[in-house]
Amino acid sequence: MKNIQHDLNFLDTTQNKMPVVISNWGDPYDMGRRDSNKPKGLFQYLIEDQLKAYPSETDSYVRNVLKTFREYDHPFMILTKGGMLAAKDFDLYASND
């Protein structure tokens, strides 16, 4: 999360308001898939402490990232095949997202 805050801080100081795309390489709403025969998505890159913080709601990490974007009032775009999994975060979207 510190890296995201650092990057958003930098974008803020440069007044760059281009939307950040979350994600072209993995699906942020695919983090909860734990079946051994399915891809693990971004969940595999979280450290042990983060895994303990989100044992049942794996997309809470995504929500926290989006809240950080709102704190910096920076636009974002999300590419997902998660369908209605993303709907619970729609309240964090602004008109420029």
Answer whether residue 20 shows pLDDT above 50: yes
SS3 label, residue 35: coil
59 domain-assigned: yes
Helix, strand, or coil here: 78? strand
Domain limits at 55? 2-92
Q: Within a domain: residue 97?
A: no
Q: How many domains are there within the chain?
A: 1
Kindly report the pTM of this predicted structure: 0.67
pLDDT digits (tens, 9 = 90+) for 40-94: 555 555 555 555 554 444 446 788 899 999 999 999 999 888 778 788 889 999 9
